[in-house]
Structure 1
Amino acid sequence: MACLIISASLVYSLHLYADEWKLRKNRKGIQVYTRSVPGSKFKEFKATTELEASMTSILALMEDIPSYQKWFPRLRESKLLKMISSREMILYQVMDIPFPARDRDSVFRVLVTRDARTGSVTFNLSSAWDYVPEQSGVVRVKIISGSWTFVTDRNKGTVTVVYQMHSEPGGSLTPLLTNAAVVKRPFTVLMNMREMLKEPRYRDARKSDVRLLK
């Protein structure tokens, strides 16, 4: 999902004093919010929706790292670098950025936790940008943090998803250009996720098929 990694306490303090969320899009059962982050010119987003899927199906999709290329816009490469445990992994991704800007790559440390009382599952993402050497011709995204949270409603048989992210793409990509896409991209991700979960490999997944949180 390191010289410039923000410490957990600093990330917490930045978000503590961030602006209030503003609803930017509410369509097809998906809400997308944005807010400013102190010390950054780039907006943070939060997108949420309710999915008619089981937690097992969602975990099966989330651990299928190569599949991300199908449901994350302009994602050229997505691979697992290391499965540290059933609760921690290192991911590598490359974003296809329109010319003349250079493509971006990111290295994430992902920590997965489950709330013992509610059963909700959270994927916390932080930068691990120096885990692998930087690539020629590609700009490494060094400041990035976010999370995926999944909350089960057992009465309705649904899962509410909250997808939240803040990053600074570096290089020549300006806040004006980046902030213009900060609503459309997470909306599309959740739309695509909804469709992906209809595929039999995820829809019919069993707990024994899932490696996460063993």
Structure 2
Amino acid sequence: MNKTEAHGFKDWASVISGAIFALLVSAMATTTVSAALPGEDSDVWSLRKESGDIHIYTMRQSDSSFQAFKAEALIDAPIESIMAVMQNPASCMEWLLNCTESYAVGKGNFHERYVYSVNDLPWPVTDRDYVLSVHTQGSKASGEIVMQMSAVPEMRAEVSNRVRVDLSNTRYRLIPENGKTRMIWLQHTDPKGALPGWLVNTLLVDIPVSSLEELERVASKERYQGFSLIYDESGQLVDVRQTSGN
């Protein structure tokens, strides 16, 4: 491969990585443009890549030219630190590829909130932006936390120099495991525009690997230490709060 071809391939990889991401956390919201994510345990998932403790699977979607992916990873960070990252809307810029802008919008609480984020894509591809409904649920009995999000594009006016993504569903299931966190990440996103499905699907497996490796690094930062999960009397997760000074 000559330098020109290599450079062109790298630019396309950057385009795809930015376009398919929809930022952090949730429990699935239903919208008129969203389709349900495939089942986590479906036997249709196809293993595409293994990288250390990270396994990536993909699945064709009958109503889309873009595949869904499932990433399973054992992250060397406690679930409290992972949740501290996830609950910070601006953390998208720390660990998700090409996320250059992210903040909370509208009214919300711990269980249901909204986030606006932007993926910066190289010229001449137009940047993508998202408005996401984020839902969080957790049980003290099981120790698991489920975070799901889906696109709610109508919640904020579109920006003239960005393409609004109106179909994106993501689910994170977080499971504490001996001081580490097992994360199962399902996602299906249609980035809209002229990005060909075959190219997105070819590069899809590398995107969650890079992000999960970065999530592990970010979760180890000092500002995400000393957090605790707060449960109500019925054992339902109600907050993630810093309880020791850092």
Give TM class, smaller chain. 0.7 to 0.9
Amino acid across the alignment from 1:196: V
Q: What TM-score do you get using the length of structure 1 for normalisation?
A: 0.87
**1:95-110 to 2 correspondence within 5 Å?**
95-110=119-134
Q: Which runs of 5+ in 1 are unaligned?
A: none
CA contact (8 A) 1:72 1:189 kept: yes
CA contact (8 A) 1:19 1:35 kept: no
Identical residues among aligned pairs (%): 26
Residue 71 in 1 paired to residue 95 in 2? yes
CA contact (8 A) 2:131 2:151 kept: yes
Amino acid across the alignment from 2:36: V
Structure 2 partner of 1:121: 145
Q: Deviations over 1:184-208 (max 9, x none)?
A: 1111110000101111111333447
Amino acid across the alignment from 2:197: P
Structure 2 partner of 1:133: 157
Structure 1 partner of 2:82: 58
Amino acid across the alignment from 1:173: L
4+ long deviations beyond 4 Å: 1-4
Matched residue SS, 1:130: helix
Q: What is the Cα deviation at residue 172 of structure 1?
A: 1.2
Amino acid across the alignment from 1:166: H
Task: Give 2:192's match in structure 1, choosing from 163, 167, 170.
Answer: 170
Q: Deviations over 1:1-21 (max 9, x none)?
A: 698522xxx526xx36x8711
RMSD: 2.1
Amino acid across the alignment from 2:151: S
Amino acid across the alignment from 1:187: V
**1:151-190 to 2 correspondence within 5 Å?**
151-153=175-177, 156-190=178-212
Paired residues in the alignment total 203
Structure ID, larger Rg: 2
Amino acid across the alignment from 1:137: N
CA contact (8 A) 2:81 2:227 kept: yes
Amino acid across the alignment from 2:69: F
Structure 2 partner of 1:30: 54
Amino acid across the alignment from 1:198: S
